[in-house]
Amino acid sequence: MTQQELEQMIATKTVADVDLGGMTLEGLDFSGCTITHVNFKNAHLRHCKFDEAVMDSCDFDHSGPADEPTLQSVSFRKAELNNCRFRYAYMVWSDFRYARINQGTLEDAVVDYCDFYRCFMEGVIIFKHARISNSSLNNTYFGDAANIRRENLYKGRIVQQSKRQWTIFLVDWHNYGTGERTNDSRQVSDWSPDDAIKNRWNEAEDIYKTLNGLWAGKGYIADANWAYVQGRRMERRRMMSDMGNPKIPFWEKVGNVWRIFTNALSDLFFGYGESMLKMILTYIVTVFLFAFLFSEEVSPLAYIDALGVSLKNMAGVDSDVLSNVSPFVDMLNVLQTTLGILLTGIFGFILGNKIRNQ
């Protein structure tokens, strides 16, 4: 089929049973079309529009890993994609905002600088070995059968976590993406890059907590726990960012100081109850710290003996060495025993989680 024949078919708003495989398509506007059983396999699409199109059983697959983008600056805004394939597709600066994706596959696809804002994905959608980088998943809906996993997020990050990449995503969209941003009513979006950059931690928090809920509900406990930790860290960054926000009430900022402090401590010492390594290190540091205090306060007491006393205290075992000591040392003894009980309980909780996740 020639480009002229294709343009004539597009003008009828119905494109069906057409083989466009291997072609280079640039600047074509399929907006509002009903597109059925169209083969785009190994085709290269540039600056094409499928806005508000209804697409059934369309194939955007590539034969293998692509060296260059197969879909560049392509808009599927408010489109409905049913049983469409993007296996090995290489998509950059493409727009899936407000789209509905029902069934399909992005297996082995590369997705870079794409916007899935308020994209609705339901049915079985395969993300196996897909790589999503520098793309926004803000307010994206993943149905229960959409099998996106932690491994699909390139380097375990989302674009909002990098100020540099997020700025590029926002500022360069007009040049490299699909043009000026408009909302779902086709009005120019009332937003500014500066506000979006300031709000990035809030978006990152929402994305990770959404993924946490998705993965926990599907039984992907390890992925859910990882997303939970990331969400708590984004929460801390969001509260820190809010300290400079004049719209946040003063007393809320005061409360956030305590929340930031406890959030940071929970992360540092326990990894929010998910890090066995941090828990063990906290336990070891506590033992050595109290051993040092005992060796300094109880004379004569060698550090190696103080270390034995400290270990016993962590297990709640009394030591004959600490007899006839000052009230301060006695208080240290009680404090360490209490900490030891608490740390042992937390250790058991984390260990149980790790065993359950195996």
pLDDT per position as a tens digit, 118-155: 999 999 999 999 999 999 999 999 999 999 999 999 99
The pLDDT of residue 358: 57
Query: Going along the chain, which residue ranges are E strands?
Result: 14-16, 24-26, 34-36, 44-46, 54-56, 71-72, 80-85, 90-92, 100-105, 110-112, 120-126, 131-133, 141-142
- Delimit the domains of the chain by residue range: 3-196, 199-274, 277-357
Q: How far is CA 166 from CA 180, 194, 303, in A?
A: 17, 11, 52
Look-up: residue for tokens 């004379």? 299
The pLDDT of residue 47: 95
From CA 221, how far away is CA 212, in angstroms rounded? Answer: 9
- Residue 336's contacts (CB-CB under 8 Å, 6 or more residues apart) are 286, 290, 310, 313, 314
From CA 49, how far away is CA 158, in angstroms rounded? Answer: 26
User: What single-letter amino acid sits at 334?
Assistant: V
Please tell me the pTM assigned to this model. 0.89
The pLDDT of residue 269: 94
From CA 2, how far away is CA 20, in angstroms rounded? Answer: 9
Dihedral in degrees, nearest 10, Cα atoms 142, 148, 149, 150 = -70
**φ, ψ dihedrals at 90, nearest 5°:** -120, 100
Q: Is 344 exposed, middle or buried (0-12, 13-18, 19+ CB in 10 A)?
A: middle
Cis amide linkage into residue 65, ω under 30° from 0: no
DSSP symbol at 138: T
Look-up: residue for tokens 């984390």? 350
The residues facing 125 across adjacent strands are 104, 146
- Residue 215's contacts (CB-CB under 8 Å, 6 or more residues apart) are 149, 150, 221, 223, 224, 227
Question: pLDDT tens digits for 81-112?
Answer: 999 999 999 999 999 999 999 999 999 999 99
**CATH hierarchy code of domain 277-357:** 1.10.287.70
From CA 246, how far away is CA 239, in angstroms rounded? Answer: 13
Other C-beta atoms within 10 Å of 2: how many? 8
Look-up: residue for tokens 């495989």? 21
From CA 61, how far away is CA 76, in angstroms rounded? Answer: 16
Output 279-282 pairs: Cβ under 8 A, ≥24 positions apart.
279/343, 279/346, 279/347, 279/350, 280/347, 282/343
> End-to-end alpha-carbon separation of the chain, Å?
54
Largest CA distance in the chain: 100
Q: How far is CA 118 from CA 55, 99, 133, 218, 260, in A?
A: 18, 7, 18, 21, 30
* Run of H or E residues at 45: strand 44-46
From CA 59, how far away is CA 40, in angstroms rounded? Answer: 5
**CATH hierarchy code of domain 3-196:** 2.160.20
From CA 194, how far away is CA 201, in angstroms rounded? Answer: 13
CB distance 78 to 98 below 8 Å: yes
Question: Angle, to 10 degrees, between the axis of helix 327-357 and the axis of helix 221-242?
Answer: 130
- Using 50 as the pLDDT threshold, list the residues of the chain that sit under it: none
Question: How far is CA 113 from its chain centroid?
Answer: 15
